[in-house]
Structures are given as C-alpha cells and as structure tokens.
C-alpha cells in the first residue's frame, strides 16, 4: 500500500525504506528488472557491471516533498561489435536519462508552465511543493514535444501583432477541431504558401480580405475554396458608409433633434444662465479646431498631399483626410449620456424639488432607504446640473444641440431595422429625407447587410451593378474591391465557415503574450499557444 502511494511505477521499482528529513520524505528504492537492452545495438544483457545512486524529485505526498533515492545498475554490453562497452538501465516511464525529476512531476510542472508562464508559475507551484525555478519552467515548455498536427480540412488564417504597426505573424486554426495548429513568424505570402503546400488535405480556407493571404491561398492551396470573412465584409461596408457621411455634413445635421422654441415671456432673457468655465473652454476649443480646418482646406486646395498636410500641421493623416474632403466644418459630436445609479430615482427627486426641498443631503437620506446605492455627491451634482434657484425654479440654460458622431450614425445604415430604437428610427428617417442619395445609401447598405445575415448570394450580382452605377464614391470603391475577390465573397455567402473562431484565438494569443510582458521569443510564444489547448 505504501509503495503504491509513493512510487511512480511499482512494476519496475521496489520500495526499500522511507525516511523523513524535516519537510522531505526520502524514499529509497531499487529496480526490479534482471536485464536491460543496450541503447545503441539493442542487445539484451544481464551482466551487471556496477551500481550507483540517483536523486530524483517526485510529486509531493500530502504536505511533504518527495525525493527518491534510486539505486540503478550499469550493465555490460555482450555484443562484441557494439562500440558501447557498458550502459545504464533506462526507466523511460519513471525518469528520463540524466533527468532529475520523475516524468509525472515533469508533466505537472510543464502543465503549469504552459498556462501560467515562468514567474507566475514559479509562485503558484511553491505552496504545492512542486518547487522549481521560473527558468526551468520555461525550459520545460521550450523542450516539450511538438504537438501532432492532424491533416486539416478547413482552416482559418489571420494575422497577429508582435508590435502593432510594425511586426506581424500569422496564426492558423483548424476550424473543424476549433484549435490552433501553427504559428508563423510573419504574414508574407511566401511563408504561408510554404506551409499550405505541406497539407494537400485542405479543402476550405477562411481568411480576411488581405491581398497577401489571398495570394497565398491561391498559390499554396489551389484545390481549396477561399471564403472571405463575413465580419470583415460588414466592417468594410460600414467604413465606406462612414467615409461618405463624414464628407457630407448635411446628413449628420439631420441627426440634431428638431425642437420648437417655446414662446418667449417677458423677463426670459434675464433667466438665461451664463456659460460655465467648462463651456467657455469648449467654445475656445471649437475656435481652434475651426482654424485648423480652414488651414487644412486651404493647403489641400493649393495642391498639398494629405501626408504633407499632416506632417506640417502635426496632425494625423486620418484627421487631415477628414477635414480635406469634408464639404463644411464638421462639428464635434454630442456625447452619449451614460447610465447612472440615480436614474431610477430622478422622478422622486423632481417631485421633491417641486415641493421646495433643495438640500442634497436631505434628498440623499430620503432615497437611501429606497435602494439607492450611490454616493451623496451624485445627488449634489444632479442638483447643480439642474441649476435650481432659491425659489425652486430651474432657470433656462443656453444649450447647443450637436449632431451625432459619424460612427454612431453609420450604425443606423448597417443594423437590422428591428434592432433600432424609436429615437434611432426617427433620426434615420430624417437622414433619408435629406435627399435621394441618403435613401439610396440606406437601401444599398441594407441590401448587402441582408445578404450577409441571410447568407444568400443570389442578389450579389445585381447589388454590385447598382452600387457601381451609383454616385456614392466610397460604396463604388467597396463594390470594385468585392469584384476583385468575387469568388471568396460569394463563398462567404454560401458556406457556414468564418474567421470568428480565428479572431477568438488571436485574442487568446494576445492574452498569453501580455502575460509574458512581451518578453517571450517566438518559439516560447508558439509553444504556449499551441500546446495549452
């Protein structure tokens, strides 16, 4: 019973003695076998040449570390033609040749290192009596066996960043088995082609719309069907729509709510609250932004390139392009109001203020028993925003209604109509009513989005024809890019495969990379990504 608990393999080891030395159990053992095979020639020998002892760390027993004091034998090779004269008996199921830890201890430490890395793994295994250094844990991962790659049939390919904007690699996922099968050190077509040629079993390749991967799939696996990723298609559609709306501010102006001015009463002008310092700063920022806009427009009209404008004015090329192609000054979008813990109690607070209670402390004490979990400062801030005067009357405030952000307005054209809120439907109708182009933009966006959602390609050809002959330049460019990759786009509307699982594994790769603080080499990162699944 004791041998069963302490020895890693009772079939080859015999328990001789157990001694406790402080927090360590020293287990004395010897081998059972009468003979062994020469590692060079394979000749079986029973002639014992000598004996020596090996100190081998093993899995802990309860709260004690375990050390096996193992007596092993050296045999004499009886094959006269063999160059090796003596050899040590091997115990591959117990410990490796020259190993200082049993295989089961090694497997446990290797498992921790795969999932936790070096330093964190070192801190985790200390209390578990599996103690070893962080460097050893990483060495176990690096020296681990290569995972077996079964011939894949459906693969997904995407890039990932060593350093965003500088160095990129490629991750390849077996979409049927939902696991990564390889990591490549770059994203060039040549590297991917070389990898694909090793696996003629590949029938389907899911990829984004990058030209390098399209070229690699065509040359490396000509027998495979290429499937463009549907998410990227929708993103490309949304980007094209955003560029169009951003260049024509009349559509964004339509997002401003139409509010009829109430009839002015005598004395109204005296009630208007002056702008706060924050609002005055906002106006100053607008003036600076307007001056920058005018500089960009002037330089662009004089023939300066976007890159040159961005360099001279020290702004991003994205902002320079936005200002250069805008038909008029784009106002800053309004900020969307965040939810507050105070929202469920606003009606109660409004009613109490109407009765003449203007004390933030009193109101806080009243809503606390009603379930309010926020701080008193929330109530005080709400009162300040309301600007309640001593007579309990909220004076009017000079406000400016701003248009929606172009990114927010773009979603109205891509989302399914049944997912829009009442306010969003009203805004969308105002945008479509601006002119016929707005209506046409919406119809083209919805038509393509429906093809993606329903996965049908029957209307793709007619959609391309309509879009190409429209006067919406960004959508025309989008349609032309689809025509260049038409087979893959049509396949994305037919097959169920997509790059969604690949994106998930890219996120997992980022997590592993950041756990190692970006200090891991490619070999270690590849091992952890592939083996930890």
Q: What angle do CA 18, 22, 26 make, to 5 degrees?
A: 25
In the chain, DSSP finds a helix count (H) and a strand count (E) of 23, 12
The structure tokens listed for 71 are: 């007596």
In whole angstroms, what is the distance from residue 112 CA to residue 532 CA?
10
In whole angstroms, what is the distance from residue 385 CA to residue 456 CA?
51
DSSP-assigned beta bridge partners for residue 95: 102
Secondary structure letter of residue 71 according to DSSP = E
**CB-count burial class (<10 Å; 0-12, 13-18, 19+) for 103:** middle
In whole angstroms, what is the distance from residue 164 CA to residue 162 CA?
6
Q: What is the pLDDT along the chain (533 residues), one digit of tens a residue?
A: 688 888 888 888 989 999 998 889 999 999 988 899 999 999 999 999 999 999 999 999 888 899 999 999 999 999 989 999 999 999 999 999 889 999 999 999 999 999 998 899 999 998 888 889 999 999 999 998 888 889 999 999 999 998 888 899 999 999 999 999 999 999 999 999 999 999 999 999 999 988 899 999 999 999 999 999 999 999 999 999 999 998 888 898 888 876 555 555 544 444 444 566 766 777 888 889 899 999 999 999 999 999 999 999 999 998 999 899 888 888 776 666 678 888 899 889 888 888 888 788 888 999 999 899 888 888 888 887 665 444 444 444 444 567 888 999 999 999 999 999 999 999 999 999 999 999 999 999 999 999 999 999 899 999 999 999 999 999 999 999 999 999 999 999 999 999 999 999 999 999 999 888 877 889 999 999 998 77
Secondary structure letter of residue 417 according to DSSP = G
- Residues of 444-482 as b/e, b for ≥16 C-beta within 10 angstroms? bbbebbebbeeeebeebeebbebbeebebebbeebbeeb
**Neighbour count for residue 4 (Cβ, 10 Å):** 8
Contacts of 3 (CB under 8 A, 6+ apart): 10, 13, 14, 15
SS3 labels along 156-222: EEEEEEEECCCEEEEEEEECCCCEEEEEECCCCHHHHHHHHCCCCCCCEEEECCCHHHHHHHHHHCC
For residue 83, the SS3 value is coil
DSSP-assigned beta bridge partners for residue 158: 171
C-beta of residue 130 within 8 angstroms of C-beta of residue 106: no
DSSP-assigned beta bridge partners for residue 225: 204
For the chain, which residues make up each domain, given as ranges? Answer: 2-99, 105-142, 154-229+498-531, 232-241+404-492, 343-386
Q: Where are the beta strands (DSSP E) in 196-300?
A: 204-207, 225-228
For residue 69, the SS3 value is strand
Q: What is the CATH architecture of 154-229+498-531?
A: 2-Layer Sandwich (3.30)
The structure tokens listed for 292 are: 């920058």
The structure tokens listed for 226 are: 């290429």
**pLDDT attached to residue 393:** 46
**pLDDT attached to residue 398:** 44
**pLDDT attached to residue 130:** 87
Which residue is associated with the tokens 């490619």? 522
C-beta of residue 29 within 8 angstroms of C-beta of residue 13: yes
C-beta of residue 170 within 8 angstroms of C-beta of residue 158: yes
In whole angstroms, what is the distance from residue 69 CA to residue 450 CA?
71
In whole angstroms, what is the distance from residue 316 CA to residue 323 CA?
11
The structure tokens listed for 221 are: 């696996």
**pLDDT attached to residue 54:** 93
């Amino acid at each position: 019973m004791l041998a069963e608990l302490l020895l890693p393999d009772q079939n080859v080891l015999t328990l001789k003695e157990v001694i406790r030395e402080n927090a360590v159990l020293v287990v004395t053992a010897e081998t059972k076998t009468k003979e062994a095979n020469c590692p060079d020639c394979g000749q079986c020998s029973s002639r014992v040449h000598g004996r020596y002892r090996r100190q081998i760390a093993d899995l802990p027993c309860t709260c004690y570390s375990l050390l096996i004091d193992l007596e092993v034998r050296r045999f004499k090779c009886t094959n006269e033609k063999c160059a090796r004269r003596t050899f040590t008996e091997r115990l591959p199921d117990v410990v490796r040749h020259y190993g200082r830890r049993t295989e089961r201890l090694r497997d446990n430490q290797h498992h921790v290192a795969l999932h936790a890395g070096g330093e964190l793994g070192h801190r985790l295994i200390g209390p578990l009596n599996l103690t070893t250094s962080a460097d050893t844990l990483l060495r176990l991962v690096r020296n681990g066996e290569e995972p077996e790659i079964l011939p894949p049939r459906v693969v997904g390919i995407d890039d990932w960043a060593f350093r965003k904007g500088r160095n990129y690699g490629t991750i390849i996922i077996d979409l049927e088995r939902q696991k990564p099968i390889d990591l490549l050190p770059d994203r060039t077509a040549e590297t991917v082609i070389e990898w694909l040629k090793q696996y003629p079993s590949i029938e389907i390749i899911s990829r984004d719309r990058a030209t390098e991967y399209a070229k690699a799939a065509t040359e490396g696996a000509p027998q495979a069907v290429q499937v463009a990723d549907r998410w990227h298609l929708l993103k490309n559609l949304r980007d094209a729509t955003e560029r169009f709306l951003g260049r024509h501010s009349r559509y964004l102006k339509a997002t401003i709510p139409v509010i009829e001015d109430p009839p002015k009463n005598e004395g109204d002008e005296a009630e208007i609250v002056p702008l706060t310092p924050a609002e005055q700063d906002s106006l100053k920022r607008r003036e600076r932004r307007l001056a920058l806009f005018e500089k960009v427009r002037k330089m662009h009209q004089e023939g300066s390139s976007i890159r040159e404008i961005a360099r001279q004015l020290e702004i991003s090329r994205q902002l320079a392009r936005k200002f250069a192609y805008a038909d008029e000054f784009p106002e800053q979008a309004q900020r969307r109001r965040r939810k507050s813990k105070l929202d469920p109690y606003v009606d109660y607070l409004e009613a109490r203020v109407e009765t003449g209670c203007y004390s933030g402390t009193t109101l806080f004490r009243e809503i606390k028993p009603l379930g309010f979990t926020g701080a008193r400062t929330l109530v005080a801030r709400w009162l300040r925003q309301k600007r309640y005067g001593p007579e309990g009357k909220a004076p009017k405030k000079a406000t400016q209604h701003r248009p929606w952000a172009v990114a927010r307005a773009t979603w109205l054209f891509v989302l399914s109509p049944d997912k829009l809120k009442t306010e969003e439907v009203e805004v969308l109708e105002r945008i479509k009513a601006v002119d016929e182009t707005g209506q046409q933009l919406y119809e083209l966006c919805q038509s393509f989005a429906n093809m993606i959602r329903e996965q049908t390609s029957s209307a793709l050809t007619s959609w391309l024809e309509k879009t190409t002959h429209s006067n919406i330049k960004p959508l025309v460019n989008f349609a032309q890019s689809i025509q260049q990759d038409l087979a893959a786009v049509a396949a994305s509307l037919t097959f169920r495969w997509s790059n969604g699982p690949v994106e998930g594994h890219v996120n997992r790769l980022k997590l592993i990379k950041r756990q190692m603080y970006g200090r891991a080499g490619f070999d270690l990162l590849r091992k952890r990504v592939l083996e930890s699944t």
